[in-house]
Amino acid sequence: MAATDTAFTTSASDVRQKALIAGLNATVLYVLAYLLANTLYQAATVAMAVRLSIRGVWELERVKFLIADGEWVRIAVLAVYSVGPLLCAGLGVAAALWFWYSARLKRGLLKLFLVWVALHCCNLFFGAMVADTFTENGFWYIPSWLFLAGNGPNIAVAVVFGLIQMVLGYFAAILFLQSHDSITLMKYVNRRVLIYATLFAPWLVGSLVLALAKFPHFGRNEQLHFATMLLLLAPLSFAAANELFEFTLEAPQKTRIAWGLVVLALVVLVAMRLVLGPGIHFA
């Protein structure tokens, strides 16, 4: 009995250790993927605004435009507020295809990074419509100025986008499960640990890290964007919890802390704060 108890304890300890390491790596990748997707979203918005000679400031929390409401014309609104989400939609599809046709067959953390990029990009398209409808800002301007028929159609579009995001989250479970190398965590008996350690913990801790990096410049829109990630993660976790798939590569990468990525994330966060803290003016 003592030998059995010792073996069980050792196994449980090994699962916890690998879960903590995998969770840390996943959190770092969550942060890096968000910074990539959100930066491209905002950079595309700024580039379109500059092309249309619209003045503004690229700040930590948002891109703020310095023109009066009466100066906006319909084509400018549609162009400026759609380019970021559309770019993210394209990037998300590209990341998912890269993962499926190449990265998932290789060892390492690239495949998990691509999954987080795809999820963030999906959220910055479908989820942003839901979040921005609450604040009547950002991506919400597209249906508002496209239909010019009151807020009813805008809410209907947000509901449809939210439902699509949930469906995509459910089907993303197979990508999530194929993005891990750990043989131990991929065992079905450890599925709940895998989900909490590498899905929900990175979302919660990573979002807090990003919020602290931007504090006190952390607007309601961005808070809601983090919240709408749950429209992806909740159905994804449900599907993953009921999926019997538990295989990984024949020679997977050992579970160890990716210190290089930790340092990279810290450097990028500091650089973001230093560059965007004072704001970048454009015209």
pLDDT of 251 above 80: no
Q: Amino acid identity of 251?
A: A
Q: Which residue has the higher pLDDT, 249 or 206?
A: 206
Nearest to 205 by CA among 246, 148, 265: 265
State mean pLDDT over 186-202: 95
Give 250's pLDDT tier (boundaries 50, 70, 90).
confident
Q: Where are the domains of the chain?
A: 20-42+86-144+151-277
Q: Helix, strand or coil for residue 210?
A: helix
Q: Which residue has the higher pLDDT, 182 or 87?
A: 87
| Alpha helices per DSSP H over the chain | 2-51, 74-101, 110-122, 128-135, 141-147, 151-171, 173-177, 183-186, 191-195, 201-214, 220-228, 230-241, 259-276
Evaluate whether 128 touches 164 at the Cβ level (below 8 Å): no
Residue 52 CB neighbours (<10 A): 12
Q: What is the pLDDT of residues 7-54, one digit of tens each?
A: 444 478 888 999 999 999 999 999 999 999 999 999 999 999 999 999
Give 6's pLDDT tier (boundaries 50, 70, 90).
very low
Q: Which residue has the higher pLDDT, 78 or 9?
A: 78
pLDDT of 132 above 50: yes
Q: What is the per-residue pLDDT for 69? A: 87
